[in-house]
Amino acid sequence: MDPGSQVWAVDAEPGMTEVVRAKADAVGADHFRAVTARAEDLDAEPGGFKLIVIGNAFHRLNRALVAQRAYTWLKPGGYLALCWSTSPWTGLQDWQQALDRLLRSWQNALGASGRVPPG
C-alpha cells in the first residue's frame, strides 16, 4: 500500500461500519476509514481510488448509478471488482446475461475459455 493510502469500508448499516471501525482500532490500522453511507450517496473525490470492491451487494444497488459513479471515483487504470458468493453472470436477468456474454468474449479473446470455469 502506498504511504498515505486509505482503505474505505462503506456500508449503509451503521452496525456494519462500527464492526469495521472496532476491528481496525483493535489492531491499530489507522489507514481504515469506516463510512456509513449508501453507495448511491457516497461523497468521494473523482479519481480517488485505485480499486473499488463491491461484495454481495451490487444487485441491491442502483447499478447504473453506482457503476457510473464508481467510474468517476477510479483513478485512470483503476479497477472495479464485483464479488459474489456465487457467480453473478449465471442468472436469467438481462444484465446477468449481458455480463456473461462480455466475460465469455474476453475469455475467448485472451484464449482463456478453457481455463476459466463457468459460473
**Contact status, residue 34 vs residue 18, Cβ threshold 8 Å:** yes
- Give me the CATH topology for the region 7-87: Rossmann fold (3.40.50)
* Domain positions in the chain: 7-87, 88-119
Please give the pLDDT value at position 111.
Answer: 80
Please give the pLDDT value at position 100.
Answer: 84
Mean pLDDT to the nearest integer, 63-76: 94
Between residues 116 and 26, the one the model is more confident about:
26
pLDDT at 92 over 60: yes
CA distance readout (Å), 35 to 31, 32, 38, 50, 117: 13, 10, 9, 18, 35
Report the percent of the chain where pLDDT is more than 70.
90
Query: CB neighbours of 12 closer than 8 A, spacing ≥ 6?
Result: 36, 37, 38, 39
**What is the distance between the alpha carbons of residues 113 and 81, in angstroms, rounded to a whole number?**
20
Query: CB neighbours of 29 closer than 8 A, spacing ≥ 6?
Result: 23
Mean pLDDT over each residue of the chain, to the nearest integer:
87
DSSP notation for 16-27: HHHHHHHHHHHT
Mean pLDDT to the nearest integer, 9-23: 94
CA distance readout (Å), 68 to 36, 42, 86: 20, 12, 24
Between residues 27 and 93, the one the model is more confident about:
27
pLDDT at 18 over 80: yes
Global pTM reads 0.69
